[in-house]
């Protein structure tokens, strides 16, 4: 799958290009908004906002006016206003720097599952105790199939995209419930509690106080 990376920070771009390459993504890297608007069509755009020639929000607006390519904003701007504006003008997700490659990959897959499911190549997630068959949407713990609700499955599958990575409550709500979610996150606690009861001691959905949750596989 082809990803257009629009990023003027060379170390960040090189790290993302290498990391995404390890996950099978083909990355085209450009440094400016003008280059991004001239680039060949891609399957997904990773767009920094702090570009040297124009505001990344203007690039996002223009890309969205041209078509429905999925756009994930990656930016050091953590202000809520930028985040809301980015989503309102057409971005599908917003990731604040600093971030890890595994988180970006998980967010890419979550966005693609929502807007371009045909591009997602689901592969089973397996550990010594947990197996997730994404194609069939089935979960097995120690070879026994678990009966999960659709949202319980979506939550577990999202966390399992990057085992050990910490996701904020807001990131999880946006990925699993709604891309524009800004409301209460109490429903997340209910679903995490249900998952813990069903998974038992086989898989740990750990709370990271003041941040969110991570999945630990054994």
Question: Where do the H-state alpha helices sit in 43-136?
Answer: 56-66, 80-88, 101-115
CA distance 159 to 65: 32
More confident residue, 204 or 22: 204
Q: Are residues 114 and 183 in the same domain?
A: no
DSSP string covering 150-178, please? HHHHHHHHHHTTSTT--EEHHHHIIIII-
- pLDDT tens digit string along 1-58? 899 999 999 999 998 998 888 778 999 999 999 999 999 999 999 999 999 999 999 9
pLDDT for residue 170: 78
Q: With bands split at pLDDT 50, 70 and 90, how would you rate the model's confidence at 176?
A: confident
pLDDT for residue 183: 54
pLDDT for residue 17: 92
Q: Are residues 10 and 110 in the same domain?
A: yes
pLDDT for residue 180: 47
Least confident range from 61-75, 127-141, 185-199: namely 127-141
- Answer yes or no: is pLDDT of 209 > 70: yes
- pLDDT tens digit string along 128-162? 678 888 778 889 988 889 999 999 998 998 888 77
Which among 67, 66, 2 has a CA at the least distance from the CA of 29?
Answer: 2
Q: Are residues 27 and 133 in the same domain?
A: no
> Please, which residues bridge with residue 74 across strands?
95
The answer to whether 93 and 72 are in contact (CB under 8 A) is: yes
pLDDT for residue 119: 61
**Average pLDDT score over the chain:** 85
- Answer yes or no: is pLDDT of 218 > 70: no
**What is the distance of C-alpha 15 from the center of its chain?**
17
pLDDT for residue 116: 73
- Answer yes or no: is pLDDT of 79 > 80: no
Q: State which residues form the domain around 159.
A: 125-216
Q: Are residues 109 and 135 in the same domain?
A: no
Q: Are residues 11 and 114 in the same domain?
A: yes
Cis bond upstream, residue 197 (ω within 30): no
Q: Are residues 141 and 115 in the same domain?
A: no
User: In the listed set 119, 148, 165, which residue is the last one of a domain according to the structure?
Assistant: 119
CA distance 165 to 161: 9
Rounded to two decimals, the pTM is 0.61
- CB-based contacts of 216: which residues, under 8 Å, 6+ apart? 163, 164, 203, 204, 206
User: In the listed set 101, 119, 137, which residue is the last one of a domain according to the structure?
Assistant: 119
- Answer yes or no: is pLDDT of 187 > 90: no
Q: Are residues 208 and 145 in the same domain?
A: yes
Q: Are residues 115 and 165 in the same domain?
A: no
Q: What CATH number does the domain containing 33 carry? A: 3.40.50.2300
pLDDT for residue 71: 95
User: In the listed set 119, 152, 170, which residue is the last one of a domain according to the structure?
Assistant: 119
Q: Count up the domains in the chain and report the number.
A: 2
CA distance 130 to 141: 5
More confident residue, 60 or 120: 60
Q: Are residues 106 and 129 in the same domain?
A: no
């Amino acid at each position: 799958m082809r990803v257009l990376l629009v990023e003027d920070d060379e170390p960040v771009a090189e790290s993302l290009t290498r990391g995404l390459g390890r996950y099978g993504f083909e990355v085209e890297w450009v440094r400016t908004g003008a280059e991004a608007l001239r680039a060949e069509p891609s399957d997904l755009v990773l767009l920094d906002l702090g570009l040297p020639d124009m505001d990344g929000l203007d690039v996002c607006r223009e890309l969205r006016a041209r078509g429905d390519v999925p756009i994930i904003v990656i930016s050091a701007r953590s202000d809520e206003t930028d985040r809301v504006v980015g989503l309102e003008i057409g971005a599908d997700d917003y990731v604040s720097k600093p971030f890890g490659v595994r988180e970006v990959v998980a967010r890419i897959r979550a966005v693609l599952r929502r807007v371009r499911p045909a591009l997602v190549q689901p592969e089973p997630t397996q550990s010594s105790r947990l197996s997730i068959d994404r194609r069939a949407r089935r979960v097995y713990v120690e070879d026994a199939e678990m009966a999960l609700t659709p949202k319980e499955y979506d939550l577990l599958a999202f966390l399992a995209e990057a085992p050990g990575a910490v996701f904020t409550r807001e990131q999880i709500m946006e990925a699993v419930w709604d891309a524009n979610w800004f409301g209460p996150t109490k429903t997340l606690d209910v679903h995490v509690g249900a998952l813990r009861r069903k998974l038992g001691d086989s898989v740990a959905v750990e709370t990271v106080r003041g941040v969110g949750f991570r999945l630990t596989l054994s």
